[in-house]
Amino acid sequence: MAVKKKEVDFINWTEYFASIVAVCPWSKAFWAKQKIDIQRWRGEQRITPLDDYVARMWLHPNASGRTLCKIHYRLNEQRHNEEWLYSHPQYGGHSTPSPVLIQQDQIILNNARKGKQNESKTSS
């Protein structure tokens, strides 16, 4: 299921992050504080460090769910300070409107899951 270029360019990420607060309560706040970056996937050799971001959504509009799954497993094995997830609209529910790989700072993610926040990354 390929997503048209126009659809990818006009995704309302503010709406999307607001829609997933039941399963990811911290994402809306991180998005509002500009701590989530959106980039087009250009291959594993072009992955950049998160720096001040807590997460990066790598848009991969032509990837299948299976392809994203394989990439995410490989990156989790290689990049130990990050947690990689993926999302594809084929899965429904709270999935992203376009296929994505999600690069997250592992410590920030674990703290958020425990209900804590890292002030150095979340403060404005």
| pLDDT score at 9 | 61
Helix (H) or strand (E) holding 104: strand 100-105
Residues of the chain with pLDDT under 50: 1-6, 117-124
3-state secondary structure of 1: coil
